[in-house]
Every structure is written in structure tokens, then in C-alpha cells.
Amino acid sequence: MTSLNLAIDTQTLTAKGLHLQGSIPATGLELPDESGVHPAGDTTVDLKIHATEQDLIATGSIVSPFELECVRCLRVFPQEVRLEDWSLKLPLKKGEIIDLTEPIREDILLALPSYPRCEDGNVEPGPCPAEGRFDPVEQTPLEDRPDQGDTGAWDILDELNR
């Protein structure tokens, strides 16, 4: 399979726009392959590209498979970054080539959890074997804190447990 070209030649964009569909290898997006984070296959994109007088507008979905290491049990688990309502607006200069590689890469990286936990995996979710191994941190009652959402509170706990 050939890698999808994400460089849009705005000169050839018609009023009908462009349907950009295909896959890009992890190396093509320069996705990180490091301790705890490994790309697990091609990133699939299905995008509609339109141009207005001033802007290039891309909308659609991006799916990128990863293998992450759980911060609690150190198990490697599959996780997909799924950007199903992705959109991007970039200022358009006529005749310019606009490369979507960098913005797509950045948004995939932003969607990766900073403290991956296997029970939050969206491919094979299941209980974390390390769950309950840590004593609750009783000196910091969470109910006294402003609501930070589920993950926020757990991130803090994970940090305290380090």
C-alpha cells in the first residue's frame, strides 16, 4: 500500500473539494517509538478538503493504532487514537502547497494519554491487574478538590505514588 500524500496543492483544489482517503505509515508521520509508546500500524485518514477565499478547511476522521505501556502494571496494551470529528482550518495562500502532515501528527500526539492505563484502553478494555495495589492517599481527600474529572484526579494519585 502506498502512503497517502498529505501535501495539498491548493491550486488544483476545485469548488467541489478533495476527498483524501488512505493510510500513512507511522514513519511517514514521525510518530514517537519510544519507551511505553509504540505505533502499531498505519494511520488511516478519511478527510474532506475544501478551500474558501481565505482558508483551507479539512474535516473528517483520523485513526492511529498504538501500543502503550500501562503506568501501573507495566502491561503493554493496544490503544487507538480515534479523532472522529477532526477538523482543521489553515490560512490559504493561492497556489501554495499545504502539508497536513504536521497538524495531523500534532493532534495524534495530543490525543495520546500522558499516563496510559490499560483499563482505559479502547481496544481490549479490562481491569488493570495492579488496581488496588496502592493504598489510598487519605491525606488528600479528593472530594475537597474542585472537580478535575476522573483522569485528572487519577493523574495526581499516580504522581503521588511514584
Rounded alpha-carbon distances, angstroms, from residue 2 to 25, 28, 42, 58 = 9, 11, 11, 21
In angstroms, give the least distance from the CB of 111 to Zn ion: 19
In angstroms, give the least distance from the CB of 32 to Zn ion: 20
> Within 13 Å and on the Cβ side, how many CA atoms surround 98?
22
In angstroms, give the least distance from the CB of 87 to Zn ion: 33
Task: Give the residue with the Cβ less far from Zn ion, 125 or 152.
Answer: 125
**Using only C-alpha atoms, what is the Rg of the chain?**
20
Is position 73 an interface residue for Zn ion (rule: CB under 5 A)? Answer: yes
Is position 72 an interface residue for Zn ion (rule: CB under 5 A)? Answer: yes
Closest CA to 54 of 105, 3, 93, 109: 93
Stretch 116-145: interaction string toward Zn ion, x if CB under 5 A: --x---------x-----------------
Q: Which one-letter amino acid corresponds to residue 161?
A: N
Closest CA to 61 of 83, 42, 43: 83
Closest CA to 9 of 76, 59, 62, 56: 56
Is position 68 an interface residue for Zn ion (rule: CB under 5 A)? Answer: no
| Contacting Zn ion within 75-114 (CB under 5 A) | none
In angstroms, give the least distance from the CB of 134 to Zn ion: 12
Task: Give the residue with the Cβ less far from Zn ion, 88 or 112.
Answer: 112
Binding footprint of Zn ion on the chain (CB under 5 A): 70, 72-73, 118, 128
